[in-house]
Amino acid sequence: MVRRDGEDKIRLDRPLEEICLKYIPGAWKEQTEHRPLNPAEVAQVAFAADCRLSRAIGIVENSKKEWQSLSDEQRIAWLSHGPTKDPIRAELFRAITGVLGKYTK
């Protein structure tokens, strides 16, 4: 939902495109069925949580990393194994992937 030209509009989530449709109350329905997550999305959630945990326990270099800045090899390794050095980080990774695993296709 965005406001354009003084009107409420629905902006479609399309990169590099500004597609806005007029908002008509009652014409849009809330999505009640959710699609399954893919393993990469679960890994991204676990990665974001790991960055926050790293900051909390004082591992500053890990807390500043971004998923987009990882190489394909690093992403695949993270997806498969998660963090391997700190037991608390590995436990958080297992917890997140375990909970979200049942929502994964």
pLDDT tens for residues 53-72? 999 999 988 888 899 999 99
What does the pLDDT average to over 11-16? 84
The Cα 104–Cα 87 span in angstroms is 25
- Contact status, residue 45 vs residue 93, Cβ threshold 8 Å: no
- Contact status, residue 100 vs residue 45, Cβ threshold 8 Å: yes
Angle between helices 87-101 and 39-56 (to 10 degrees): 150
Q: What does each C-alpha distance from 49 to 18, 20, 27, 52, 77 come to in angstroms?
A: 31, 33, 36, 5, 17
The Cα 29–Cα 20 span in angstroms is 17
Band the pLDDT of 88: cuts 50, 70, 90.
very high
Q: What is the pLDDT of residue 13?
A: 83
Q: What does each C-alpha distance from 40 to 35, 56, 68, 71 come to in angstroms?
A: 14, 24, 12, 14
What does the pLDDT average to over 27-39? 80
The Cα 83–Cα 88 span in angstroms is 9
